Amino acid sequence: MKPLDHLSRQLVALCRQAQRVRLATAVSGAAIALLIVLVAIFAIDWLFRESGDILQRLVLLGLGVAALIWAFVRYALPWLGGREEPLEMALRLQRHVGIDSDLIAALQFEGPPVADGGSAALKTALVEDVAARQRNIKVDGVVQRGALLKRLKVLGLLGVLWAALGILIPSYVGVFFNRLLLGAQQYPTRTQFTSLTINGKPVDLSRTEPPSIRVPYGRPLKFAVEATGVTRDDKCRVEMTGSKGGLSVFDLEPRAEAPRDPDAPPPPPAPSGYAGKYERLLEDASCKVYLGDAWTRPLEVAVIPSPMIEVEPEIVPPRYAQADGPGVRRLPRGTRQFAVVEGSEVKLNVSSDRPLKAVTLMVGDAKVEYSLDKEASRTGAEIWVPKLEGTPLAAVAEPLKFAIDVLDAEEQTLERPLEGYVRIEPDQPPRIAAATKTPFVLPVAQPTNYYGVSDDHAVGRIWLTWEVLRGDAPLAAEGGGPNVIELFQLEKDEKPEPVLEGEYAFDLGKLPLAKGDTVKIVFHATDYRGKNPGKSAASEPLVFQVTDEQGIMASLLEGDQKSARELELFIKQLLGLGETP
């Protein structure tokens, strides 16, 4: 055991004590700086509480961090440098106690021997002298705690301040630390928003990131607000700032409450509701809602173009109307008013410039569903086709008014449904003509009659009817048989034709005719309209006069004389020899 071991242990303890005081002083300085910076940020954030800009808070946090770094370098870092040594502590003890320099010399002489260190006897005497006095040396107060105590007092005051804030306004303190972590909470107000919906979509006001509010170009922006703590004098308004700098302010009106039974118990307190809209949004905008003493953070609204929808009509005429044209008729893109043959199938295909969730077609009260045609669709252009089975468009029987609406991937619909009209194309009755060579016939003759029928689409049936007049009274057919002769009937598998011509030799010998009788023949035709009944038409009657051979010769002579007179008149007209007045 060395003579100065007791003193050495005291010096080592003083070194440790000084180190703890130094570190505590540095930590307290950093803590004071942190609490002061938090108070400053709290005050500034509350002063600018109306602004919900995250960037502003980031800048404020950046300034706070910079202030903390400066305070750490200025008030904490100097206390973290250096290291306490026993000899240095002995020097401080020597100055504090007011003794001579024997203490330092004795500690050095007790250590490892040094060459040319002087007389050994003198060294031993010095060490023994200091050893005899070491237990009487008072080490209290060698380590200075003045700076630490001052900082602890300031730290205590700041702690009391924050404790008071936590007790008096705990909700404010909680919101502050939420906002310090870039949360979206706002400082408490008398009025509290409970819900906010824009165009029917709820807006989460507690989230940090701005909500995705997208509105089709030119569509209204509808607001619905629910809040508590509202007084009669409170007004609800919306401030909108456009991307081009324009400012619009409009009020939301209180929503009318449903009438309540006066005998019913009063309902529990309910949030007050407000509603209103901005008529047409034409550019991106930022909006804030104010109600009472509360407000929302800025809400970004993006304008998106409405879906570009066009109708691509395809018409499949009935089979009878396909004789002179293609089986499928495609109208120009965008056509919404057109006429079709009765019984036609009408496919109102829809093309879109963006993905759609659904397409709906309303035809009167009937709803027609659509499905995506993946084969015809391509990038940037979807094709949707209707499901026509069991709908009025499967076989159009009357004029139809239709309306098409869509739902895109962003739950947006058209500002106004695409409306159109399908008319029925007039299908005229067939046209029929008949002729014969001479109106004078013998009772046993077989005069040839020529007929021609034309229709818009197809001829379904041709027949003739005959009648014999003797004097003014009709003569019935022998045996009471019908006076109808069928000439043409369209068969089921036969190709429809719009034009038919033919001739028919009517055998008068089968009729009980006598000279002076009159025979009337009328040709008839009916057009073909598929499952629907056709329309009929009749030719002018062919009238035959029954005569004998002399009558035939007389009619021929009369015809020759008439032809000669017409020829003579024609020659005179050519020669300019007509009668002069």
With 90 as the cut, is the pLDDT of residue 312 above it? yes
The stretch 315-336 carries a mean pLDDT of 81
Is residue 496's pLDDT more than 50?
yes
pLDDT at 449: 92
Mean pLDDT over residues 180-202, rounded? Answer: 84
pLDDT given for residue 573 in this prediction? 64
Query: Is the pLDDT higher at 571 or at 454?
Result: 454
Pick the CATH number of 309-424 from 3.90.550, 3.40.720, 2.60.40, 1.10.20: 2.60.40
Residue 115 has pLDDT above 60, yes or no: no
User: Range(s) for CATH 2.60.40.3930 in the chain?
Assistant: 431-547
Helix or strand run (H / E) with residue 9: helix 5-47
Looking at the predicted structure, is the pLDDT value of residue 88 above 70? no
Take residue 568 and report the two structure tokens written for it: 């003579």
Q: What is the mean pLDDT of residues 258-278?
A: 66
The Cα–Cα gap between 37 and 33 comes to 6
C-beta of residue 544 within 8 angstroms of C-beta of residue 518: yes
> What topology does CATH give the domain 431-547?
Immunoglobulin-like (2.60.40)
pLDDT of residue 112: 53
- CB atoms < 10 A from the CB of 124, how many? 13
**241-249: long-range contacts at Cβ-Cβ below 8 A with a sequence spacing of 24 or more?**
241/285, 241/286, 241/287, 242/283, 242/284, 242/285, 243/283, 243/284, 243/285, 244/283, 248/278
CATH for 192-256+270-304, among 2.60.40.10, 3.40.50.300, 3.40.190.10, 3.40.640.10?
2.60.40.10
β-bridge partners, 537:
525
pLDDT band, very low/low/confident/very high, at 375 (cuts 50, 70, 90): confident
Kindly tell me if the per-residue pLDDT of 163 is higher than 50.
yes
The stretch 354-378 carries a mean pLDDT of: 89
What pLDDT, in 10s, does the model give residues 9-59? 666 666 777 777 778 888 888 999 999 999 999 888 888 876 666 778 888
Residue 465 pLDDT more than 90?
Answer: yes
> In angstroms, rounded to a whole number, what is the distance separating the alpha carbons of residues 489 and 534?
13
Which of 544, 432, 545, 543 is closest to 487 using CA atoms? 432
- Residue 132 pLDDT: 46
Q: What is the mean pLDDT of the chain?
A: 80
Within the chain, all domains assigned CATH 2.60.40.10 are found at: 192-256+270-304
